[in-house]
Structures are given as C-alpha cells and as structure tokens.
C-alpha cells in the first residue's frame, strides 16, 4: 500500500473541517442539554466500541443488537423531543425579538414626541419672557405717566385754588 494522497484542494479540506467542527460543536451542545441523551449516547458509544473490538459482527438476533437498536430508537425519540423544544424556544425568541423591536419603535416615537414637546416648551418660555419684559416696560411707562398726570392734576388744583382765592 502506497502513501495516501488527498485529492481535495486545501480550501475544500478547510471547508470540510469547518463543517465537521460545527457539527461536532452542535452535537456537544445537544448532548449537554440532556443528561438522558448523554447517558444514552455514552452507552451507545461504549457498545459500538465493544462491537468494533469484537472479531465477529453480532447477529441481528443477538441481545446486544436488540439493545443497540432500542438505544437508537430512544436516542431518536430524545432528539425529536429536543428538536421540538428547540423549535419552541426559537419561536419564543423570535416573538420576544419582535416584541422588543415593537417596544424600541414605541420608545423612539415617544422620544421624538418628547423632543417636539421640549422644543415647544422652550419656544413658549421664550415668548413668556418676552411678554413679561414687555409687560414690565408697560408698567414702568404707565407708572411714569400716572405720576406725571398726578403732578399735573396737583398743579391744576393748586392753580385753580389760587384763582379761587384771588377771585
């Protein structure tokens, strides 16, 4: 037997290794999520190792084979159950994300309304300050006019009193 040559280019080998690594990570995550699945897998792996080390392939009628088949069926059921749970969790996450986006949209809308209201308040405060300043000027002018008129009235009263006394 000669040296083994790899007909795949390095880029393809890297892609294949990446796929295998992702699937291995996924398998580990799946096993980590269920102690029963882990136990069944370890049992299956031990049995597979025992079968590989045995010189003869077990017959389809042997107890080992039946146990292995039962383990496979149990594993498949556990995988289906986990996939169903995974689907439920995924759907829940999608609903939560949609809800979060709707909430974010409402918050942004409220921020815009708040900014508009703050600008209106600033504008109204400016108008109020201008109106107060104008009012204060009018009051000062009015008080000055009132004082001037009172002085004229007194002056007129004094004059009319002196005309009455003369006449």
**Terminal Cα-to-Cα distance of the chain (whole angstroms):** 155
Helix-strand-coil split of the chain, %, nearest 5: 85, 0, 15
The rounded distance, in Å, linking the Cα atoms of 139 and 136 is: 5
pLDDT over 70, % of the chain: 86
Q: Give domain limits for the chain.
A: 14-166
For residue 1, the model assigns a pLDDT of 46
Query: Which pLDDT tens digit goes with each residue over 39-59?
Result: 888 888 888 777 766 645 556
Residue 29 pLDDT > 80? yes
Instruction: Compute the average pLDDT of residues 128-138.
Output: 94
Neighbours of 157 (CB within 10 A): 10
Q: Are 79 and 37 in contact (CB under 8 A)?
A: yes
CA 12 vs. chain centroid, Å, equals: 38
For residue 45, the model assigns a pLDDT of 80
Query: Which pLDDT tens digit goes with each residue over 88-126?
Result: 999 999 999 999 999 999 999 999 999 999 999 999 999
């Amino acid at each position: 037997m000669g040296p083994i040559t790899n007909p795949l280019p390095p880029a393809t080998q890297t892609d294949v290794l990446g796929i295998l690594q992702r699937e291995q990570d996924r398998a580990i995550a799946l096993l980590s999520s269920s102690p029963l699945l882990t136990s069944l897998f370890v049992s299956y792996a031990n049995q597979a190792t025992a079968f590989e080390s045995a010189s003869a392939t077990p017959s389809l009628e042997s107890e080992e084979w039946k146990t292995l088949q039962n383990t496979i069926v149990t594993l498949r059921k556990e995988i289906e159950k986990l996939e169903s749970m995974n689907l439920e969790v995924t759907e829940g996450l999608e609903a939560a994300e949609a809800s979060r986006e709707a909430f974010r949209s409402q918050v942004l809308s409220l921020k815009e309304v708040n900014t508009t209201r703050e600008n209106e308040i600033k504008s109204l405060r400016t108008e109020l300050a201008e109106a107060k300043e104008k009012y204060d000027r009018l009051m000062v002018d009015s008080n000055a006019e009132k004082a001037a008129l009172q002085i004229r009235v007194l002056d007129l009263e004094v004059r009319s009193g002196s005309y009455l006394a003369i006449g």
